[in-house]
Amino acid sequence: MKIIKPNKLKKGNTIGILAISGRIKDFENIEKAKSFFEEEGYKVVISETCKSSHRYMAGLNDDECINELHKFFSDKNIDVILCARGGYGTLRLIDKIDWELIKNNPKIFAGYSDITTLLNLIYKKTGLITFHSAMPNGDFSKVIDDYTKAAFFNTLEGKTICYHAYNSSIFKEGEAVGKLWGGNLSTLCALCGTNFIPNEDLILFLEDLNEPVYKIDKMLTQLFNIAKLRKSVRGIAIGEFKDIEDKNQLDEVILELANKLNIPICDGFKITHNKIKDTLPIGIKVYFNANAGIIKILEEYCK
């Protein structure tokens, strides 16, 4: 697959805030995020779906979300697409997306949580590097954490070289090289049954929130029952499973997985629903060292 690298974020660029997942309950959050980016020196466009909703999802319906997604990619004046929030909704869109339109109009596309669906499918279907990043509704509408802010801008400006784990537990020692890939565990599991796994060696990163240990166990088992994934994953970088009720049980589950797969695994990365988070490019070649708790980017991911 030919890799497509988006243009780096630059001062003066236009950031499009796009709601295609959960509904925006408080539009004031989007306005606050808009003010933040404008104060940082960027122009901002807000999708119509930030102002409309159906049930628990953004937009009047799925078609409006698809139309806004296509419009934002087609619009030459929009340089970056930043998803407004997670929630639920992107899985409903995947059979309607014009992948060729995205491939022919490459630009930074970023978000996390439910947006994991599109981050990984866009990379799989088009080769475009996407970004697991902070989002307007939950991050940039508040006083943004300094670490999160620096990680966001440094990565989208093409400056990030390495990610470090903190207070890391090593479940299996070792080193590996592969394409950085992953995101929210429950969202990845929702893609099972679709053609979503790249034909490449992978360094998988995972995070989630509000999930009991038995469900995390079930989801990991579901993913790694897929022979292609077992064959492709060369190492696993664990972020945070936020609000876990029994960390010791979770560690047991991950240790069992490490011994079963016999690949390097460690935790402690700032990949999380928490306020302090890294921004990571999906689809780029990295070196992973579980002993040292590092992910090192091996090639440029923006141009």
- Catalytic residue IDs: 113, 207, 273
Q: Where are the alpha helices (DSSP H) in 1-98?
A: 27-39, 62-74
- The rounded distance, in Å, linking the Cα atoms of 184 and 116 is 6
The sign one gets for the Cα dihedral 13, 297, 116, 28 is negative
**DSSP single-letter state for residue 207:** E
Interhelix angle 247-261/213-224, rounded to 10 degrees, is 10
- Residue 133 zone, left/alpha/beta (φ > 0; ψ -120 to 50; rest): beta
Give phi and psi for 280, each to the nearest 5. Answer: -125, 140
Give the Cα separation of 221 and 189 in Å (integer).
10
Distance CA 88, CA 20 (A): 9
Buried b (16+ CB within 10 A) or exposed e, 26-39: eeebbeebbebbee
Query: What is the Cα 234 distance to its own chain's centre?
Result: 19
Beta bridge partners of 18: 83
